[in-house]
């Protein structure tokens, strides 16, 4: 008993309310926490003035777990407990209610055939209340009938199953009751019917509790109306899909008000309620309509996008399925191939070497005085004429590579590819320096630029880009070169149809894999705008965004228009676009398969910008932070 009391004292904290300065989105959500992890999170956040507004105990494969939402806000005194047996809960209940507290959250769950409780109490006065726990379905119905007839309403309900028996914990309150409807022991289909019916009448699911009896998921719910803000809810979300869903909602401006987790077989499922006071949901729906029409028209499996306003990430969302075999949805955290949007990344690496006085744009690449002469000597007079600048702005006359078998060989090396290119009699589309020379988009030039980076820096291409470009932009841990065998890495969307280029060899011209969020983090650091400190100087930015006499609309790694810059990526089973619109709005968008008839993504860009045209304002927060 002494050891239990000691453990209990260590495991709980009671806090009185304080006056708090509430910041934008002052909340934290966690799930799949062990008791020890939950205690650490609880201590950390409660010491900073946060309080649990949602708490759910559950089991995952028999292990005790917790899901919690903390919010930083002023309010009445409160107390929270977890891991309590029924007897311990009753003792805490008696002690705290005598001090003026009442339970506002009660979560029952079974661990090893024993009932446990996690509970939050608040020190409230005013309205009358009644709380009950460990009620059978019949007892709950009797309690429900008794108190609702007296003018109470079910403010909170939690269903749980112990040793095959469904039980209920509930809180009834009286005074200033909202319009409400309550149901329990609903199957998933019955819950969906009730949800459709009552939300159609203006109700929203304030509390949704899931529990599994004899292999069937059941639900208890309290609907109330009206809602104070636009809301969204999901029920029965598999644990494997929950994080992606949560990320998707977070980056759309939603915050969780209620999270209920429950054991379903050996896994866990989640019921969640969100509200959105940050982004106009009607404007989101108009963007959704444009994107979903594009997806339908172009047969797109997966699409992810992100939006910046004045250098701040204000919105991101995934559409479709990232992995059809698992049913995993696309989220803003899903990575996908960006193909030729890799070129601005490579160009930035080159420009940093120029900025560091380690490289000159007018320097020849091959030949006796060329940068690569020692490692890659050549007898080609045309190769000897080409400069770094000409490779960057596609005025070298070089053909485009990636059709050669070596670029699709998982065992192909840099040396193998260079041997193929240096011996290719058809490596030029136009003769350098000739009168017929025209602008010609060339992956080959960017492949050579990757070798220049290696020669001048003394590092591998990937390591230099990571340390000099990606890390300073804050994306060194999330953006990467794809696999040599062309297979997706963990967390990367699958591609339809699947194509398997050697993404390591494609690196400098098309091998990077990223999230749209990563691309915007990169763009705001190289866009010449003061909203975020750039990793290049103003003079370097001017040079990098100045077109050539052969094409004023393509500069050094960027398509340019006025003071804006953009680039697309189009190959095989992936498409991407990174765009600065010139009105403070920038966006990035990636799709996982070839569109039906939009190879260069002009229709994709039109759909995106039409949707963006409906936004009248954006949140003041920055989701990059």
Q: How far apart are the first and last CA of the chain?
A: 46
Examine the fold and report which residue of 278, 295, 310 is the final residue of a domain before the chain moves on: 278
Q: Report whether pLDDT(496) > 90.
A: no
Q: 233-262 pLDDT, tens per residue?
A: 999 999 999 999 999 999 999 999 999 999
Domain count within the chain: 2
Whether residues 262 and 166 fall in one domain:
yes
Whether residues 341 and 220 fall in one domain:
no
Whether residues 360 and 261 fall in one domain:
no
Whether residues 394 and 269 fall in one domain:
no
Q: Report whether pLDDT(17) > 50.
A: no
Q: Report whether pLDDT(21) > 60.
A: no
Whether residues 601 and 457 fall in one domain:
yes
CA gap 405, 382 in Å, rounded = 24
Task: State the pLDDT confidence band at 16, using cuts at 50, 70 and 90.
Answer: very low
Q: 114-138 pLDDT, tens per residue?
A: 999 999 999 988 789 999 999 999 9
Q: Where are the beta strands (DSSP E) in 328-417?
A: 328-329, 336-337
Is residue 299, in this structure, part of any structural domain at all? no
197 Cβ partners below 8 Å, 6+ apart?
Answer: none
Task: State the pLDDT confidence band at 20, using cuts at 50, 70 and 90.
Answer: very low
Whether residues 244 and 345 fall in one domain:
no
Whether residues 235 and 381 fall in one domain:
no
CA gap 38, 7 in Å, rounded = 14
Q: Report whether pLDDT(24) > 80.
A: no
Q: Given this model, what pLDDT does residue 25 score?
A: 56
Helix, coil or strand: residue 446: helix
Q: Given this model, what pLDDT does residue 366 score?
A: 97
Which structure tokens are listed for 401?
């590579």
Is residue 231, in this structure, part of any structural domain at all? yes
Q: Which residue has the higher pLDDT, 496 or 398?
A: 398
Q: Is the Cβ–Cβ distance between 178 and 151 less than 8 Å? A: no
Q: Report whether pLDDT(6) > 80.
A: no
Q: Is the Cβ–Cβ distance between 213 and 136 less than 8 Å? A: no
Whether residues 366 and 274 fall in one domain:
no
Across residues 210-229, what is the average pLDDT? 96
Q: Which residue has the higher pLDDT, 17 or 568?
A: 568
Is residue 373, in this structure, part of any structural domain at all? yes
Task: State the pLDDT confidence band at 291, using cuts at 50, 70 and 90.
Answer: very high
Is residue 499, in this structure, part of any structural domain at all? yes
H helix runs in 201-324, sequence order: 239-250, 281-298
Closest residue by Cα to residue 208 from 225, 226, 188, 229? 188
Task: State the CATH number of the domain containing residue 362.
Answer: 3.40.710.10
Starting at the edge strand found earlier in the chain, the sheet holding 574-580 runs 328-329, 312-323, 302-309, 585-591, 574-580, 564-571, 559-561
Task: State the pLDDT confidence band at 323, using cuts at 50, 70 and 90.
Answer: confident
Is residue 110, in this structure, part of any structural domain at all? yes
Whether residues 253 and 360 fall in one domain:
no
Is residue 314, in this structure, part of any structural domain at all? no
Q: Is the Cβ–Cβ distance between 556 and 542 less than 8 Å? A: no
Whether residues 274 and 343 fall in one domain:
no
Whether residues 274 and 406 fall in one domain:
no
Q: 165-193 pLDDT, tens per residue?
A: 999 999 999 988 999 999 999 999 999 99
Q: Given this model, what pLDDT does residue 176 score?
A: 87
Across residues 318-346, what is the average pLDDT? 93
Q: Report whether pLDDT(460) > 80.
A: yes
Rounded (5°) CA angle 223-229-231 = 60
Q: Report whether pLDDT(10) > 80.
A: no
Residue 273's domain comprises 2-278
Is residue 510, in this structure, part of any structural domain at all? yes
Whether residues 447 and 366 fall in one domain:
yes
Q: What is the mean pLDDT of the chain?
A: 93
Q: Report whether pLDDT(3) > 70.
A: no
Q: Report whether pLDDT(497) > 90.
A: no
Is residue 305, in this structure, part of any structural domain at all? no
Across residues 295-311, what is the average pLDDT? 97
Helix, coil or strand: residue 105: strand
Q: Given this model, what pLDDT does residue 228 score?
A: 86
Q: 395-424 pLDDT, tens per residue?
A: 999 999 988 999 999 999 999 999 999 999
Please spell the DSSP secondary structure of 233-268, one letter per residue.
Answer: EEEEEEHHHHHHHHHHHHTTT-EEEEEEEEEETTEE
């Amino acid at each position: 008993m002494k050891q239990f009391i000691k453990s209990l004292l260590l495991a709980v904290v009671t806090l009185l309310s304080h006056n708090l300065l509430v910041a934008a989105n002052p909340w934290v959500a966690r799930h799949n926490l062990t008791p020890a992890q939950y205690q650490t999170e609880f201590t950390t956040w409660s010491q900073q003035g946060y309080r649990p507004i949602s708490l759910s105990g559950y089991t995952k494969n028999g292990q005790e777990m917790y899901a919690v939402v903390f919010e930083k806000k002023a309010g009445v005194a409160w107390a929270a407990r977890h891991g309590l047996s029924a007897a311990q809960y009753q003792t805490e209940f008696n002690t705290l209610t005598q001090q003026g507290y009442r339970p506002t959250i009660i979560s029952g769950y079974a661990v090893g055939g024993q009932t446990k409780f996690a509970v939050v109490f608040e020190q409230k006065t005013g309205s009358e209340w009644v709380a009950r726990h460990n009620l059978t379905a019949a007892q709950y119905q009797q309690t429900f009938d008794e108190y609702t007839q007296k003018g109470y309403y079910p403010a909170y309900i939690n269903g749980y199953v112990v040793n095959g028996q469904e039980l209920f914990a509930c809180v009834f309150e009286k005074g200033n009751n909202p319009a409400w409807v309550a149901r329990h022991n609903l199957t998933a289909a019955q819950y969906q019917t009730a949800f459709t019916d009552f939300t159609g009448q203006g109700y929203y699911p304030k509390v949704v509790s899931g529990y599994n009896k004899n292999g069937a998921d059941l639900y208890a719910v309290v609907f109330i109306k009206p809602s104070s803000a636009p809301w969204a809810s999901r029920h029965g979300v598999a644990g494997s899909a929950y994080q992606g869903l949560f990320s998707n909602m977070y980056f759309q401006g939603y915050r969780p008000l209620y999270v209920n987790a429950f054991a379903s077989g050996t896994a866990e499922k989640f019921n969640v309620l969100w509200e959105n006071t940050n982004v106009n949901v009607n404007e989101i729906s108009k963007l959704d309509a444009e994107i979903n029409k594009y997806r339908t028209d172009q047969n797109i499996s997966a699409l992810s996008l992100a939006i910046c306003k004045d250098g701040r990430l204000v919105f991101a969302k995934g559409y479709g399925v990232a992995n059809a075999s698992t049913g995993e949805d696309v989220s803003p955290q899903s990575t996908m191939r960006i193909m030729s949007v890799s070129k601005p990344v490579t160009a930035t690496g080159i420009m940093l070497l120029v900025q560091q006085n380690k490289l000159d744009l007018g320097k020849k690449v091959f030949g006796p005085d060329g940068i690569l002469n020692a490692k890659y000597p050549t007898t080609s007079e045309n190769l000897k004429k080409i400069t770094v600048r000409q490779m960057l702005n596609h005025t070298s006359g070089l053909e485009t590579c990636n059709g050669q078998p070596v670029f699709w060989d998982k065992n192909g090396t840099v040396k193998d590819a260079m041997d193929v290119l240096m011996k290719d009699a058809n490596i030029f589309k136009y003769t350098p320096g000739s009168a017929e020379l025209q602008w010609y988009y060339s992956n080959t030039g960017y492949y050579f630029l990757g070798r220049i980076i290696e020669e001048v820096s003394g590092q591998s291409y990937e390591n230099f880009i990571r340390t000099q470009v990606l890390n300073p932009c804050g994306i060194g841990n999330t953006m990467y070169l794809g696999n040599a065998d062309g297979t997706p890495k963990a967390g990367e969307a699958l591609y339809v149809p699947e194509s398997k280029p050697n993404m390591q060899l494609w690196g400098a011209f098309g091998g990077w894999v990223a999230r749209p969020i990563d691309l915007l983090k990169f763009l705001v650091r190289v866009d010449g705008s003061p909203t975020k400190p750039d990793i290049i100087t103003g003079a370097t930015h001017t040079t990098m965004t100045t077109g050539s006499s052969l094409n004023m609309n393509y500069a050094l790694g960027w398509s340019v228009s006025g003071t804006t810059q953009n680039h697309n990526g189009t190959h095989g089973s992936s498409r991407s676009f990174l765009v600065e619109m010139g009105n403070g709005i920038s966006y990035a968008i990636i799709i996982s398969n070839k569109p039906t008839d939009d190879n260069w993504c002009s229709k994709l860009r039109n759909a995106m910008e039409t949707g963006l045209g409906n936004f009248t304002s954006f949140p003041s927060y920055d989701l990059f932070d």
